Amino acid sequence: MEKIYHLLYPMRVVLISARDGGKESIMPAAWCFPLSFDPPMFGVAIAKKRFTYSLIHKSKAFAINLASPDMRGGVALCGSKSGKDTDKFAATGWKREEGKRTVMIADAPASIECEVEREMETGDHVVFIGKAINVVRRREAKGLYHTGGTEFVEI
Amino acid sequence: MEKIYHLLYPMRVVLISARDGGKESIMPAAWCFPLSFDPPMFGVAIAKKRFTYSLIHKSKAFAINLASPDMRGGVALCGSKSGKDTDKFAATGWKREEGKRTVMIADAPASIECEVEREMETGDHVVFIGKAINVVRRREAKGLYHTGGTEFVEI
């Protein structure tokens, strides 16, 4: 299968964090995008088999956490292990920050907490469409942009 | 209103082309993203007041055309004029290329033609979700990434 979507790369990688009951996880996602200016809304497309999918599906909330170049090792780790059997916060060493509805990553330059308004299947992914209910800006930093495979550029 | 979406910038700018009957237009969009690997699907969020919105709404097709640095002047022009009273192809000097369902920009490094499967309101935008039915790769080129206002970086 030809990777047509690569035509739009490099794309910024963010870290999606979510929690349901006592379970939580973090996954890197490049398919995350604004959908409205006012009210502020965002979408993220996630494969249904992902552990993070089930957490967002059940809790109806997720956080978009920016990834800075110094977080690159953790991004790779979060992308290669499942939250089913790995505590992503312990494995990366990142700290939790409690949001209004879900867990955020305190090490991220900024986090946008979203409440899910709609969930929709699009081919082999599911798109969660959420309204921003909380924004935390912690520091200025370059972003990590995915160029394909395990390659990133800093922008 | 705080521009929360700027946290995800810079974002790649593409040129969305569309035609309905004898009317056609081109608009720059940064909120354009992959939504499925197989089948290949893409989304684009457009403000409802845009002339291009009505063309896609009626014709159920659009093309995503990559914008290269040499097309920057045309990108600015397409973003500042409405297709209601401006012939964007004539004004930019870009050439038309006929696709399977709509018009593409022959000067773009690549174009992805999409057939609309769903249209959905998200706050102050409408998202068109389309399946790729045609891909044309013409040349390798850097992309234009929007950093805000009229500013772009080449990546």
For residue B2, pLDDT beyond 90: no
d(CA A147, CA B8): 16
Mean pLDDT of all residues in A119-134:
98
* Architecture of the domain whose range is B4-154: Roll (2.30)
d(CA A61, CA A14): 16
For residue A1, pLDDT beyond 80: no
Do the Cβ atoms of B137 and B110 come closer than 8 Å? yes
Tokens (6 digits) for B35: 């939504």
Q: Return the residue in B1, B15, B33 with the most chain A beta carbons within 10 A, the one to mutate for interface testing.
A: B33
Q: Determine the pLDDT at residue A144.
A: 97
| Sign of torsion over alpha carbons B28, A145, A147, A119 | negative
The whole model's pTM is what?
A: 0.97
Of B35, B40, B155, the CB nearest to A45: B35
- The pLDDT tens digits of the residues spanning A46-94 come to 999 999 999 999 999 999 999 999 999 999 999 999 999 999 999 999 9
| B-chain residue closest to A67, CA distance | B8
Instruction: Please indicate whether, in this complex, the C-beta atoms of B37 and A5 are within 8 angstroms of each other.
Output: yes
Q: Determine the pLDDT at residue B150.
A: 87
ipTM for the predicted complex: 0.97
d(CA B19, CA B113): 12
- The pLDDT tens digits of the residues spanning A84-113 come to 999 999 999 999 999 999 999 999 999 999
Tokens (6 digits) for B18: 């569309």
Q: Determine the pLDDT at residue A149.
A: 87
Share of chain B above pLDDT 90, in %: 96
Q: Return the residue in A35, A105, A126 with the most chain B beta carbons within 10 A, the one to mutate for interface testing.
A: A35
d(CA B16, CA B23): 14
Domain locations in chain A? 4-154
Q: Determine the pLDDT at residue A68.
A: 98
Of A30, A34, A60, the residue nearest B125 (C-alpha): A34
> If pLDDT is split at 50, 70 and 90, which confidence band does B20 have?
very high
For residue B75, pLDDT beyond 80: yes
